[in-house]
C-alpha cells in the first residue's frame, strides 16, 4: 500500500478498480494546519483526468501494471491483434483502447502494450514511425520556402498535413506524440 506521502508525479495507483497515474502533484499545507496532497490523476484506460485532494492518512493500492513489447498483426471485427514476439501469445485490444494510435499503426509495427491486472488496456507507439504516402496531389516544384502545406493520405488511411514537395509513394517520418510530419525518408 502507498500512503499520501508516497504520492508524486508518475506514481500509478488503483481507484475504484481503475488504474490512474499521478500526472500532476502538489504538496499543500496551511502553516497551522494538516498536510494535504493535491493531485491530478489520469485514468490510464480512458485518459480522463480528474483532480483529487488527499490527507496524510489516506492509503492507496499500487496499480499492478506490466508493459510488453508486442508486434501488431492485423485488425478485424474483434479489434486490433498483437503478438508477443518471444512467447507468441496473442491479445486483442478494442478500437477505443488503441485510440489515436491507430492513425499510425501498421502491420508488423512493434509497440508497447500496457497490461493492468493481466488485461491489455492501451498501447504506446514508438516516438517516430515511418509511413508510406498512398495519395498526394502532384507537387509544385520550387515552392519549398513558403511553409505552405497540403494534405496527404498515409498507408494507415490517416490524413496529415505535409510540405508541398511531398509526393505519392514517398516514405515519411512522423512524430507520434504530436502526429506531425518530421521529414522525408530517403530509401
Q: List residues binding other proteins (CB under 8 A).
A: 5, 26-36, 38, 53, 55
Nearest to 11 by CA among 35, 37, 48: 37
Nearer to other proteins, 30 or 138 (CB): 30
Alpha helical stretches, state H, the chain: 95-98
Contact 91, 70 (CB under 8 A): yes
Nearest to 131 by CA among 182, 80, 84, 79: 182
Nearer to other proteins, 9 or 106 (CB): 9
Nearer to other proteins, 27 or 135 (CB): 27
Nearest to 2 by CA among 56, 75, 72: 56
Nearer to other proteins, 32 or 186 (CB): 32
Report the nearest approach of other proteins to the CB of residue 23 (Å).
15
Q: Based on the number of CB atoms within 10 Å of its own CB, is 112 exposed (0-12), middle (13-18) or buried (19 or more)?
A: middle
Report the nearest approach of other proteins to the CB of residue 34 (Å).
5
Q: What is the grid cell recorded at 11?
A: 506514481
Q: How many CB atoms lie within 10 A of CB 61?
A: 12
Report the nearest approach of other proteins to the CB of residue 186 (Å).
43
Nearer to other proteins, 39 or 63 (CB): 39
Report the nearest approach of other proteins to the CB of residue 41 (Å).
15
Report the nearest approach of other proteins to the CB of residue 180 (Å).
28
Amino acid at each position: 500500500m502507498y500512503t499520501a506521502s508516497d504520492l508524486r508525479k508518475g506514481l500509478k495507483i488503483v481507484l475504484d478498480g481503475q488504474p490512474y497515474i499521478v500526472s500532476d502533484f502538489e504538496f499543500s499545507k496551511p502553516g497551522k494546519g494538516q498536510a494535504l496532497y493535491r493531485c491530478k490523476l489520469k485514468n490510464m484506460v480512458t485518459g480522463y483526468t480528474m483532480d483529487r485532494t488527499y490527507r496524510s492518512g489516506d492509503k492507496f493500492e499500487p496499480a499492478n501494471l506490466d508493459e510488453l513489447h508486442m508486434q501488431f498483426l492485423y485488425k478485424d471485427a474483434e479489434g486490433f491483434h498483437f503478438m508477443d514476439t518471444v512467447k507468441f501469445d496473442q491479445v486483442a485490444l478494442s478500437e477505443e483502447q488503441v485510440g489515436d494510435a491507430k492513425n499510425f499503426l501498421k502491420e508488423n509495427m512493434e509497440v508497447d502494450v500496457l497490461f493492468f491486472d493481466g488485461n491489455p488496456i492501451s498501447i504506446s507507439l514508438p516516438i517516430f514511425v515511418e509511413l508510406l504516402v498512398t495519395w498526394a496531389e502532384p507537387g509544385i516544384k520550387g515552392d519549398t520556402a513558403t511553409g505552405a502545406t497540403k494534405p496527404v493520405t498515409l498507408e494507415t488511411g490517416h490524413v496529415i498535413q505535409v510540405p508541398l514537395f511531398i509526393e505519392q509513394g514517398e516514405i515519411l517520418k512522423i512524430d507520434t506524440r504530436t502526429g506531425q510530419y518530421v521529414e522525408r525518408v530517403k530509401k
